[in-house]
């Protein structure tokens, strides 16, 4: 068994402050035994305006946010799933929402770019989101080999597309990390039920670090970061504010559940 943690933050427009807060929470989770920690979407920056991320973008392989992720992974000897950060593209007016994965030596071993973009008027509110105005979508899912199992990443709005998870399942995913910044309204309605459904459907662990609280830009995020086992059991949940959840990823339990309930072997229809 391996202890894994999902970090919850209420990030601000100040990158330096957010990185300090992230390191503090990572250190606490590692002290509690975590060997893998996952940060939420936009952990380094929740700007006052959608285009603030353009000013903070980094070239792939160069920049303070990437340096930070490599540093904390090496300093605390922990695998880090780096939420999302703004990565430069060929379009100077857009970024990729990139999730970077580092091993416990501080070496980058993977990158996933958010595929599904949140272009939504939130029902019952005045909130309007148009991520496609500033973000260029990624093109595919990614699976990464880790000591804890085969790890996939889905970011926030990706959670609403079960075929995206099913594709990772066909590639043998054991753990899916879902860095998110779910709104308070949509989170209250759908966050837990979607996370548990994705775990149950694909018989995998789900680690879901979320933004949680009031932000300087006026936004409120839902929190309730959680870790869910392959049977859909919520192993730990942190409701609001900064903190973390911690739970064991048990490979033996994973294989046992898949063995006694072989639903993945009974599929009749397959996505490309």
CA-CA distance, 232 to 127, in Å (whole number)? Answer: 31
Range of the domain at 98: 2-266
| The pLDDT of residue 272 | 56
Distance CA 16, CA 98 (A): 19
Asked, for residue 171, whether it belongs to a domain, the answer is: yes
User: Using CA atoms, how far apart are residues 257 and 55, in angstroms rounded to an integer?
Assistant: 46
User: Rounded to whole angstroms, how far apart are CA atoms 2 and 34?
Assistant: 7
Task: Give the list of residues 6+ apart from residue 182 with CB closer than 8 angstroms, or none.
Answer: 156, 191, 210, 211, 221, 222
Q: How many domains are there within the chain?
A: 1
Name every residue whose Cβ is closer than 8 Å to that of residue 189 and which is 6 or more positions away in sequence. Answer: none
Does 106 score more than 70 pLDDT? Answer: yes
| Catalytic positions, written as ranges | 41, 114, 156
Cα distance between residue 49 and residue 237, in whole Å: 30
Distance CA 177, CA 99 (A): 10
Inside any domain, residue 86: yes
Is residue 272 in a domain? no
Cα 257 to Cα 264: distance, rounded to the nearest angstrom: 11
CA distance 112 to 67: 17
| Residue 89: pLDDT band with limits 50, 70, 90 | very high
Token code pair at residue 111: 């990158």
pLDDT score recorded for residue 236 = 98
Query: Does some domain include residue 109?
Result: yes
User: To the nearest whole number, what is the mean pLDDT of the chain?
Assistant: 95
Domain CATH for 182: 3.60.110.10
Q: Is residue 192 part of a domain?
A: yes
Residue 251: per-residue pLDDT: 94
The model's confidence at residue 271, banded by pLDDT at 50, 70 and 90, is low
> For residue range 188-245, what is the model confidence (pLDDT) as tens digits?
999 999 999 999 999 999 999 999 999 988 889 999 999 999 999 999 999 999 999 9
Any domain includes 271: no
pLDDT above 90 (res 267)? no
Residue 89 lies in a domain: yes
Structure confidence at residue 37 (pLDDT): 98
Q: What are the tens digits of pLDDT across the range 125-167?
A: 877 889 999 999 999 999 999 999 999 999 999 999 999 999 9
77 Cα distance to chain centroid: 20
């Amino acid at each position: 068994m391996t202890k894994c943690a999902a970090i919850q933050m209420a990030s601000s427009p100040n990158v330096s402050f957010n990185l300090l807060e992230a390191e503090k929470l990572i250190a606490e989770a590692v002290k509690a035994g975590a060997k893998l920690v996952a940060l939420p979407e936009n952990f380094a920056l929740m700007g006052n305006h959608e285009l603030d991320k353009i000013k903070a973008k980094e070239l792939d392989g160069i920049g303070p946010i990437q340096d930070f992720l490599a540093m904390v992974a090496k300093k605390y000897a922990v695998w880090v799933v780096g939420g999302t950060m703004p990565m430069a593209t060929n379009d100077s007016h857009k970024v990729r929402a990139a999730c970077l994965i580092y091993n416990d030596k501080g070496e980058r071993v993977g990158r996933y770019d958010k595929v599904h973009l949140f272009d939504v008027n939130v029902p019952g509110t005045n909130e309007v989101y148009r991520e496609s105005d500033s973000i260029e979508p990624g093109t595919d899912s990614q699976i990464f080999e880790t000591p804890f199992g085969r790890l996939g990443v889905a970011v926030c709005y990706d959670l609403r597309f079960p075929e995206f998870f099913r594709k990772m399942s066909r590639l043998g995913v054991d753990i899916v990390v879902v860095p998110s910044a779910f709104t308070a309204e949509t989170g209250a309605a759908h966050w837990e039920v979607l996370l548990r459904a994705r775990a149950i459907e694909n018989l995998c662990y789900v680690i879901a670090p979320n933004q949680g609280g009031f932000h300087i830009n006026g936004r409120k995020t839902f929190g309730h970061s959680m870790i869910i086992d392959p049977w859909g059991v919520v192993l730990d949940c942190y409701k609001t504010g900064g903190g973390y959840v911690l739970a064991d990823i048990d490979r033996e339990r994973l294989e046992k559940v898949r063995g006694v309930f072989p639903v993945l072997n009974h599929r009749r229809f397959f996505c490309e």
